[in-house]
Structure 1
Amino acid sequence: MEATPPSEREQEAPDARPVILFVDDEANILSSLRRLFRSSNYNVLTANSAREALGLFEQGPIDLVVSDMRMPEQSGAELLTQVKGQWPNTVRIILTGHADLSDTIRAINSGEIYRYLLKPWNDEEFTGVVRDALAVKSLRDEKERLEKLVRQQNAELQSLNSNLEEKVRERTAEVQRTMGLLSTAHESLKKSFLTSIKVFTALIEQRGGTIAGHSRRVADLAKKMAQEMGLSDNDAQEVMVAGLLHDIGKLGLPDKLIQTPYVLLNSTDRAEFEKHTVNGQAALMALEQLTKASLMIRHHHERYDGKGYPDGLALDRIPIGARILAVANDFDSLQNGTLEEHPLNRSDAVKVIISQSGKRYDPNAVEAFKLLVGGEAEPVSTEAAVRSAELKPGMILARDLHTANGMLLLAKDHALDERLIGQIFQFERSARQPLPLFIYR
């Protein structure tokens, strides 16, 4: 039987393995590379010139290309610059046996090279660089998929304009589908469940306005209050998750109800607005791991004196997490103008919370709140803003790391190593803008 020529890729059966291409004008080098990656789970292609390599690019997608620097007719730097322009998603690596610093720098700048390797190479280092490069590409492709998903979800949110009850049912189903998608992303990227929750919180806040950042501020304060009140680490974590998702029931509400201060709503609009706590619990009901958080979300607008909603619970009948969320949520809402007619400064917001101790709020929760906010003083900052060039292994993120459009990259308290710092460099280079980085002092 006649073997299929390697160049005729369009005739080969579909292959899900990553495709890597080695380009070198020396046949012995290509043979060595084939042997090195013979047992790997890659589809390995080779070309002995830039012209032959470009022909392979025309035949199908290539995930990673490794090119020799010096070749006749067209150099590796020129080849990779052309690849960058026509196939920007392909990861590019330069291989050189010459200590020519200027050529290497020019190749890195013009072709946005991921790494460069020297001949003779170390086999373990070479395979590790290829493996890491493909992992970075996979992570970048997944982020692009999720960003596209967020844009689609946001467009759909803005298009809903009639039949509020039907809208809530549709939004609940949409939320559950989105949570399923994020859970899948969590498995493929090996991220924690909490990171997935934070990604979804960013989706909730895509509607912008005063709601932007609200959930994260509430979650942070609520967790600290829970710890101050002696709750276990697991219970404090549950409170924080509930804080991140406490406004999920507002996804089905029209912008008018979200952006109008609560005290200015008429009785009809107020009744519609108050359904968001029950809708929030319903949206998360199918997720067993969020059962406790969904109960806190249902009751975070109950009052300690029994005059709240939706169930008119009072005193200890209100879940402790919901009593904590009530304080944290109202403290932020007083300042962003969604509760009273006019936004309050921080000092006045503190006074309002303290004045309602024993009436609207649990006195124990208010005492924990007072200890944390320090009366009227601003909290002491324990973080510092840094540039990516200042990052060092061992540093710990003091804030969640997001892209400019709100997509979560790394969660707060994530310890950085050389691999992650390299990925941050690569992402900034691809996005052509710096990321907002904050680390603990």
Structure 2
Amino acid sequence: MIDASVAPDTADTKMPTILCVDDEPNILSSLRRLFRTKGFQVRVAESGQAGLVLLEAEPIDLVISDMRMPEMDGAQFLAQVRERWPDTMRLLLTGYSDVTSIIDAINRGEIYRYITKPWDDNDIVLIVRHALERRALEHEKQRLEALTVRQNEELKALNASLEAKVEARTTELRTANDSLQGANEKLKTNFVTSIKVFSTLIEMRGGNLAGHSRRVADLSRRIALKLQLDNKLVQEIFVAGLLHEIGKVGFADELLSTPVATMKPPQLEAYRKHAVQAEQLLLPLQDLRGASEIISAQFERFDGTGFPERRSEENIPIGTRILTLASDYDNMQIGTLTQSRLSPEEARIIIVHGSGTRYDPKVVTALMDVLGGTPREETERERTEEMRVMSRDLKAGMVLSRDLIAPSGLLMLSVDHVLDARLIRKIMDFERSGGLQLTAHIRVDRKT
């Protein structure tokens, strides 16, 4: 016999469903009445086989089975329930005093509790509620575990996706950074080349100034390296050397060709202003601020008797002290300071004589070391070998290891320039038109 009666409020499908199995109708009636009044949905079956049929028909949350039943006892019935519907809670109802049978039911059916007859209504209702609460907790635990497993898998997939995205973004940023660095290096190279072009403006006026600024810049850089100044300052000193006479661009030809030693007072006053004029010309260029400050003080003297602010010793920028010395050394040899050109040895003697008065003694010492061929730190460019190549032997792809300078001192191409067929043709055309023969210094990497 199967009874599928429900509590009066059949719309409440959320209430737990209890199956009571017993071969005694009066016990089933008592259990049905008791649990209905507590709000449970109740199903009843008078045999274990009938209970299995009902379990197959609909979900059951909890089974209460009698122990002693014909054909299939409670232990056998609950064992099948455990095997086929392990999620259903199982209670054993027994008045049988055989402990062995109870233990068998516990072992085979893995029951939650056993209840003795006659039962106490409050106790049995409490036991059922505790069993259902435990079932709910088990369900929640399983749900949370499944949720955790699913979320962990999602996190793994997300992490893998994020790692791939981060790697892709990192590669993208690295590529962009490499591109920016390349562009930045190109801008720096173009910037220095532009400065070299500016420095030739005054030299295009002819006379003995050809190549002066480049020689001063190179010698200043070598002295700065000898004094172990930082790279940024060395670069500023080099640029200052290239531009230190740009203030002369407005000079009259007569003033430009007059040696400083023979200038009259009005000429000397005008001549001294070219350092300040250079600073004013360079003022709009933020990147040349350091170089312009070096240039503006080039007429100061180490002993404080210079022009225009009478600075002395360490109050004069180290870059200026280097530039002044390098410029004077070259000017003495090209005849712009003295009435006649001096030999390098004569220029050195005058420089040493001015140590402590016009020049900083430690800068003088550094100059003497540089001119004496004292070993100094090589730059990356200096660690690269070079070869001299006639214009007819130039090939596309060759890289200049030095500036290409015309015999007049005019800058034609800057160091690191990569030659192509068009440039090579222009160099050869320049040679033919001027009846000249040019030699280029080409970089040769030691590894090759």
Q: Following superposition of structure 1 onto structure 2, how do residues 96-245 of structure 1 map, counting pairs within 5 Å?
A: 192-245=190-243
Q: 1:354 maps to which residue?
A: 352
Partner residue of 2:403 out of 389, 396, 400: 400
Q: Look up the match of 2:423.
A: 424
Q: Cα–Cα, structure 1 residues 206 and 324, in superposed 2: closer, same or farther, change >3 Å? A: same
Matched residue, 1:385: 388
1:133-179 Cα distance to aligned partner (Å, 9 max, x none)? xxxxxxxxxxxxxxxxxxxxxxxxxxxxxxxxxxxxxxxxxxxxxxx
Return the match for 1:372 from 370, 373, 388: 370
* Structure 1 partner of 2:325: 327
- In structure 1, runs of 5+ residues without a counterpart are 1-185
The residue type equivalent to 1:258 in the other structure is L
Secondary structure (helix, strand or coil) at the match of 2:204 reads helix
Q: Distance in 2 between matches of 1:217 and 1:277?
A: 18
CA, structure 1 residues 282+374, in 2 after alignment: closer, same or farther (shift >3 Å)?
same
Structure 1 position 427, deviation (Å): 2.0
Aligned partner of 1:288 among 286, 289, 302: 286
The CA deviation string for residues 36-95 of structure 1, in whole angstroms up to 9 with x for no partner, is xxxxxxxxxxxxxxxxxxxxxxxxxxxxxxxxxxxxxxxxxxxxxxxxxxxxxxxxxxxx
- CA change 1:359–1:192 in 2 (3 A) is same
Find the aligned partners of 1:343 and 1:399 in 2 and give their Cα distance.
Answer: 27
> For the Cα contact (< 8 Å) 2:391–2:428, is it kept in 1?
no
Q: Find the counterpart in structure 2 of residue 411 from structure 1.
A: 414
What SS is found at the alignment partner of 2:441? strand
| Amino acid corresponding to residue 226 of structure 2 in structure 1 | E
Shift of 1:410: 2.9
**Preserved contact between residue 225 and residue 234 of structure 2 (Cα < 8 Å):** yes
Which stretch of the first structure deviates more once superposed, 334-343 or 390-399?
Answer: 390-399
Q: Distance in 2 between matches of 1:432 and 1:214?
A: 23
Query: 1:361, 1:197 → 2: CA distance?
Result: 27
Two-structure CA RMSD over aligned residues (Å) = 3.0
8 A Cα contact 2:395 2:421, kept in partner: no
Partner residue, 2:172: none
The one-letter code sitting in structure 1 at the alignment partner of 2:335 is: G
Distance in 2 between the 1:208 and 1:199 partners?
15
1:309 aligns with 2:312: no
Contact 2:297 2:320 in 1 (8 A): yes
Deviation at 1:428, TM superposition (A): 3.3
Tell whether the 8 Å contact from 2:204 to 2:410 is kept in structure 1 after alignment.
no
Q: CA deviation at 1:227?
A: 0.9
Conserved? CA contact 2:386–2:401, under 8 Å: yes
Q: Which runs of 5+ in 2 are unaligned?
A: 1-183, 375-381
- Give the whole-Å Cα distance in 2 for the aligned partners of 1:202 and 1:319: 25
1:437 aligned onto 2:436: no
Does the residue aligned with 1:342 lie in a helix, a strand or coil? coil
Q: Which amino acid aligns with 1:425?
A: I
User: What is aligned with 2:44?
Assistant: none
Is contact 2:210–2:409 with CA below 8 Å preserved after alignment?
no
Compute the displacement of 1:349 (Å).
0.5
Instruction: Name the aligned partner's letter for residue 198 of structure 2.
Output: F
Taking only the aligned residue pairs, the percentage that are identical comes to 42
Q: Report the 3-state secondary structure (helix = DSSP H, G, I; strand = E; otherwise coil) of the residue aligned with 1:251.
A: helix
Q: How many angstroms does 1:436 deviate by?
A: 3.7
Q: Which residue of 1 aligns with 2:259?
A: 261
Q: AA paired with 2:404?
A: L
Q: Distance in 2 between matches of 1:324 and 1:426?
A: 40
CA contact (8 A) 1:215 1:246 kept: yes
Q: Secondary structure at the match of 1:365?
A: helix
Structure 1 partner of 2:24: none
Taking the aligned partners of 1:217 and 1:398, their CA distance within structure 2 comes to 16
Letter in 1 for 2:270: E
- Aligned residue in 2 for 1:92: none
Given candidates 310, 315, 318, the residue that maps to 2:316 is 318
Name the SS for the 2:248 alignment partner.
Answer: helix
C-alpha distance in structure 1 between counterparts of 2:186 and 2:239, whole Å: 22
In the TM superposition, residue 199 of structure 1 has moved relative to its aligned partner by: 1.3
**Aligned equivalents of 2:271, 2:291: Cα separation in 1:** 20
Shift of 1:329: 0.3
Calculate the TM-score normalised by the size of structure 2.
0.51
Distance in 2 (alpha carbons) for counterparts of 1:225 and 1:324? 7
Distance 1:189 1:428 in 2: 24
Report the 3-state secondary structure (helix = DSSP H, G, I; strand = E; otherwise coil) of the residue aligned with 1:209.
Answer: coil
Q: In structure 2, give the amino acid aligned to 1:336.
A: I
* Alpha-carbon distance between aligned partners in 1 of 2:294 and 2:271, rounded to the nearest angstrom: 17
Q: How much does 1:219 deviate? A: 0.6
Q: Which runs of 4+ in 1 moved over 6 A?
A: 186-190
Provide the rounded CA distance (Å) in 2 between the counterparts of 1:388 and 1:335.
Answer: 30
Distance 1:239 1:221 in 2: 10
**In the TM superposition, what is the alpha-carbon distance from 1:399 to its structure 2 partner?**
2.5
Distance 2:188 2:373 in 1: 41
1:205-228, Cα deviation, whole Å (9 max, x unpaired): 111101121111101100111111
- Under a length normalisation based on structure 1, what TM-score does the superposition of the two structures give? 0.51
SS in 2 for 1:386: strand
**Aligned-pair distance for 1:192?**
1.7
Paired residues in the alignment total: 248
Structure 1 residues 366 and 212, CA gap change in structure 2 (3 angstroms): same
Question: Which residue number in structure 2 is paired with residue 172 of structure 1?
Answer: none
